Amino acid sequence: MLVQRIEDQPFDWNGENIPVIVSYGIYTFKGGDTTGDALAAADRAMYENKMSYKKEAETAAAS
């Protein structure tokens, strides 16, 4: 999967590896939807994805 391939390659900054995290949102157009509706829905989905990852990272750090 593209996300995993990106996240498996840390960003090298002055010899320091910085992890890269990918969040995305997907939305399927339905009849009558506007572009704005689709972008807003995809944005919400991306935010939910991002918050899910953040919660997982916090849980792992607390363990």
**DSSP for the chain?**
-HHHHHHTSPEEETTEEE------------TT--HHHHHHHHHHHHHHHHHHHHHHHHHHHH-
The predicted pLDDT at position 59 comes to 83
**Contact indicator for 53, 21 with CB cutoff of 8 Å:** yes
**Count of domains for the chain:** 1
Residue ranges making up the domain that contains 20: 2-62
The predicted pLDDT at position 34 comes to 92
**Contact indicator for 35, 43 with CB cutoff of 8 Å:** no
pLDDT digits (tens, 9 = 90+) for 11-61: 899 999 998 888 888 888 888 889 999 899 989 988 988 888 788 777 877
Contacts of 63 (CB under 8 A, 6+ apart): none
The predicted pLDDT at position 43 comes to 92
Question: Is this structure's pTM higher than 0.75?
Answer: no
